[in-house]
């Protein structure tokens, strides 16, 4: 009983040391804002501290942390997610050259839904396996593959102006 | 493999997990289909762009103190005002004092606001009570009954001669007869006034009540002959002998009444309110005048 707070604080420090960079970058990439990334990171740590680690997660620490991160990021993106202004949207659509569009890839990427962004980031930026992403995003692997393909196609339509 | 099948397996193809015969079929399809080949190149460049996205590292402050790090509001730094740069304890004490002052001010103002409210309510109540009283008075005036037939005063004369040329030879005869009858009283023949007021109205009966109220307000005794009015064909007539001093009051009130009744002036000859003053050859006690009010039904 007495060791429980100590364990929890150790857990937080360990999470920060091992997954801190990835989690913070993940928050920053999805929310597209330093301050919102701070807020999200703090809420993730709080949630990790609050949630009692179940036995099943002992061997799957990363998916568990990522699951919490995805849940928090979803709600944060809904509340504080930066959305493109109408003028930015028009500018993106008005750009004709593919090279220029590729330079503005960040903007096109943030046009995607937060779930699609998280999926592409986890898979293509951090290179996580599908089973971990499925556990984190609470989706079957097959659905993830379809969603990824759809997201890539959407991005391709935007960047290469196929619409 | 056709385009549709290739599209379904593109995720695995990009990851390089498509192996064996499937991989070979996909490769062959890409060689033959330019559209899918282009698409694959596009997907590849998108995946490369995502993996090449710049990485943000965890700030050192958070890494050092993950339990209690302050949130850096980099976006808001530009909009920080001078007020926010003041130390927190000064800011919070000033804000606290301000809030306390506002609360005290509200507490101090509540009785005053209440007094103002009560006064306004009292004023409303007074107006309401006054209206009620007026209505009650008006009802009480109904005691003066509307008589049918000829007026007491007009028992010996014609009641409908209100149009100016009323003095005729008969009047003079009657003067003489009255003189003989009322010998000894102060009767001044040929010097008495007749005031005739004509009001044209849609509802003479309603107006009659108001006129009775006016007469009562002017302290004309209720037992004055003709006080309640006489219903005649085409309207109602009041024919009374009243004190001269009350005549201006009657005139003013009738003028006001005609304006209130909202009778419209249709043409110059159709005035809603007219009045005449004549000399009467009939004997009227000194200090008194004869007042004839004719409420004409429009």
pLDDT of residue B268: 54
* pLDDT at residue A163, as a whole number: 56
Give B290's strand partners. B194, B241
Interface of B with A in 3-22 (CB under 8 A): 7-8, 10-12, 14
**Whether the predicted model's global pTM rises above the 0.95 cut:** no
Q: Tell me whether residues B51 and A124 touch, CB distance under 8 A.
A: yes
* Higher per-residue confidence, A53 vs A72: A72
Q: Are B75 and A21 inside 8 Å of each other by CB?
A: no
pLDDT at B200: 86
Three-state secondary structure call for residue B143:
coil
- Predicted local distance difference test score (pLDDT) of residue B63: 81
Q: Which strands make up the sheet holding B235-243, listed edge to edge?
A: B147-148, B230-232, B235-243, B288-297, B192-201, B273-280
Q: pLDDT tens for residues B148-189?
A: 655 445 444 444 444 444 444 444 333 333 433 344 444 444
Sign of CA dihedral B222, B228, B229, B230: negative
Give me the residue spans of the domains in chain B.
3-51, 78-141, 147-297
Kindly give, in sequence order, each residue whose CB lies less than 8 Å from that of residue B35, ignoring residues fewer than 6 positions away.
B3
The 10s digit of each residue's pLDDT in A37-61 is 888 888 888 888 877 655 455 667 8
Residue with tokens 């192996």: B19
More confident site: A96 or A133? A133
Closest chain B C-alpha to A20 CA, distance in angstroms: 6
> Which residues of chain B carry a pLDDT beneath 50?
74-78, 151-152, 154-189
- For residue B38 the two structure tokens come to 């282009």
Residue of A nearest to B70 (CA): A38
* Cβ–Cβ contact B43 with A under 8 A: yes
Q: Quote the pLDDT of residue B143.
A: 53
Query: Which run of H or E residues covers position B148?
Result: strand B147-148
| Nearest residue, CB atoms, B50 vs list A45, A121, A156 | A121
What size, in residues, is chain A?
163
Contacts of A38 in chain B (CB under 8 A): 62, 69, 71-72
pLDDT in tens, A84-109: 788 888 888 887 788 888 888 888 89
Distance of CA B253 to the CA centre of its chain: 27
CATH node for A83-163 = 1.10.10.10
Task: Give the domain ranges of chain A.
Answer: 1-82, 83-163
Start-to-end Cα distance in chain A: 61
Instruction: Give per-residue pLDDT as tens, B72-102.
Output: 554 444 456 777 778 888 889 999 999 999 9
Task: Tell if the CB–CB gap between B45 and A25 is shorter than 8 Å.
Answer: no
Task: Look at residue A57 in the predicted model and tell me its pLDDT.
Answer: 56
């Amino acid at each position: 009983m007495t060791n429980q707070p100590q364990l929890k604080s150790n857990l937080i420090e360990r999470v920060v040391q091992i997954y801190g960079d990835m989690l913070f970058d993940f928050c920053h990439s999805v929310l597209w804002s330093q301050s919102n990334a701070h807020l999200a990171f703090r809420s993730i740590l709080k949630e990790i501290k609050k949630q009692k680690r179940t036995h099943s997660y002992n061997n799957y620490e990363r998916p568990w942390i990522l699951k919490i991160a995805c849940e928090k990021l979803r709600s944060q993106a809904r509340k504080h997610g930066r959305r493109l202004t109408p003028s930015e949207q028009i500018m993106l659509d008005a750009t004709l050259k593919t090279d220029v569009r590729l330079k503005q890839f960040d903007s096109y990427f943030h046009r995607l839904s937060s779930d699609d962004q998280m999926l592409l980031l986890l898979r293509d930026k951090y290179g996580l396996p599908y089973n971990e992403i499925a556990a984190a995003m609470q989706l079957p692997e097959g659905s993830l593959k379809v969603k990824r393909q759809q997201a890539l196609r959407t991005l391709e339509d935007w960047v290469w102006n196929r619409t | 493999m056709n385009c549709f099948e290739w599209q379904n397996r593109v995720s695995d193809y990009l990851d390089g997990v498509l192996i064996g015969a499937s991989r070979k079929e996909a490769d062959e399809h890409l060689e033959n289909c330019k559209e899918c080949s282009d698409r694959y190149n596009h997907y590849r460049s998108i995946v490369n762009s995502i993996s090449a996205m710049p990485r943000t590292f965890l700030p050192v402050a958070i890494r050092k103190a993950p339990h209690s790090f302050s949130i850096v509001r980099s976006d808001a730094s530009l909009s920080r005002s001078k007020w926010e740069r003041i130390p927190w304890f000064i800011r919070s004490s000033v804000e606290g004092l301000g809030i306390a002052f506002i609360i005290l001010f509200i507490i101090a103002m509540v009785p005053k606001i209440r007094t103002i409210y009560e006064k306004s309510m009292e004023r409303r109540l007074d107006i309401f009570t006054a209206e009620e009283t007026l209505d009650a008075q008006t009802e009480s005036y109904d005691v003066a009954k509307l008589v049918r037939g000829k007026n007491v005063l007009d028992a010996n004369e014609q009641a409908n001669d209100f149009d100016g040329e009323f003095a005729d030879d008969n009047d003079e005869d009657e003067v003489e007869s009255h003189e003989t009858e009322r010998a000894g009283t102060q009767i001044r023949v040929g010097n008495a006034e007749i005031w005739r007021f004509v009001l044209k109205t849609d509802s003479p009966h309603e107006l009659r009540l108001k006129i009775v109220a006016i007469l009562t307000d002017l302290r004309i005794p209720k037992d004055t002959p003709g006080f309640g009015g006489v219903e005649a064909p085409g309207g109602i007539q009041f024919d009374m002998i009243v004190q001269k001093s009350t005549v201006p009051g009657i005139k003013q009130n009738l003028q006001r009444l005609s304006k209130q009744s909202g009778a419209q002036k249709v043409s110059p000859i159709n005035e809603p309110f007219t009045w005449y003053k004549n000399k009467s050859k009939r004997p009227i006690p000194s200090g008194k005048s004869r007042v004839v009010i004719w409420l004409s039904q429009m």
